[in-house]
Amino acid sequence: MRRLLAALAAVVLLAPPAAAEPRERWDTEVFSLVPAPGYPAYVHVHTNGRVYAGTYVASGSTVPSRVFEWTRDGTLLRSWRVPGQPLDEDHGVQVANQTRDGRLVLLETSTRSVLTLDVRTGRFRRVATFPDGAVPNYASWGPGGALYVTDYAQGIIWRLPRGSRTPEPWLETPALAGALEFGTTGIRYRPGRRDFLITQQTVSDGSGLPTNGALYRLPVGADGEPGELEKLWTSQPGDLPDGFGIGASGHVYVALAGLSNQLVELTADGEEVARFPEVPLTGDNGSPIPFDTPCSATFLGKRVLVANQSAIAGDASHQAILDVYVGETGRAPYLPRAARFRS
């Protein structure tokens, strides 16, 4: 009997641990709080396996923006202060992308600049400057190794050609002009379809109510020029569609930074599939921190990381990265071999 019990004990000890219970769809956890100055923007998942986000600054603050770095489990590792910002005016930095060799691509608003940050050395470098009036917002690599940048203040998609330091207006249209200062936000290139997806917070070209936002599709011709802008989806009034991620299914998960405080799931053709939470306004997602100006949705495994900005309330306890389980993996942002800047 003793031998039998010992054998059974050995089997139990050697058996692999039971698999963790899978999270339910839309289950939300706190990935990490975002330290001062807070107001996190787009969350970038780097090819080095780490997670980065920049910060905006409340109006009137003289604190420089910072870039934060986390592990994949939400442990804060380090941060860098953004140099050269005029601190007597509104300023912020978006970790918008990365280069092929691993430098972060930053969009700084007060100097209207494209910067890079080498996370190995901590060195910042200015790559390009946009003209007066521009507010660079999101960026995607695209055809020809160019960087394409949305402008939150003007109806323009900028292109920074490979090897150039001078952004050029690539697409200018009233459809992207925006109303009430709520303009163009997310942009992602889909190489298989040879098009961009673009989110617009408000539409002021007469195609809908000015309080409605949109998801657009923009094809790119063989000559590299933009085709005709196509509206795939119209948001509800006041949704303010912002950053988004694309799942392996082709579904698009969009953060709604407006009063609804929700995530919306769309098919690749723009059909609305689901909203989370189902009840708008409160942002009650089941986690200790409700959605409060959710402004991006970036895939990390089968979950999306949501930057919770609390832009209106300015509640530092809500300024966080939230982790929302969606049950499918995402498509990595397009990163061609030519995704780099001239030295």
38-96: pLDDT as tens digits: 999 899 999 999 999 999 876 667 889 999 999 999 999 999 999 999 888 888 999 99
The torsion angles phi and psi of 164, rounded to 5 degrees, stand at -100, 155
Whether the predicted pLDDT of 2 surpasses 70 = no
19 pLDDT above the threshold of 80: no
Query: Which string of DSSP letters, residue by residue, matches 173-219?
Result: -GGGS-BTTB-EEEEEEETTTTEEEEEES---SSSS-TT--EEEEEE
| β-sheet bridge partners, residue 116 | 105, 125
pLDDT computed for residue 58 by the predictor: 65
Q: How confident is the model at residue 21 (pLDDT cuts 50, 70, 90)?
A: low
Tens digits of residue pLDDT in 165-193: 999 999 999 999 988 788 999 999 999 99
- Report how far apart, in Å, the C-alpha atoms of 5 and of each of 9, 11, 158, 191, 291 are: 6, 10, 72, 60, 53
pLDDT of residue 139: 98
> CA torsion, points 325, 117, 293, 74, in degrees to nearest 10?
40
265 or 163, greater pLDDT: 265
Query: Tell me: the pLDDT tens digits for 256-299?
Result: 999 999 999 999 999 999 999 999 999 999 999 999 999 999 99
Distance of CA 327 to the CA centre of its chain: 19
pLDDT bucket at 13, cuts 50 / 70 / 90: very low
Q: 23-325 belongs to which CATH class? A: mainly beta
Q: For 205, phi and psi rounded to 5 degrees?
A: -95, 10
- For the chain, the average pLDDT equals 92
Per-residue pLDDT at 20: 57
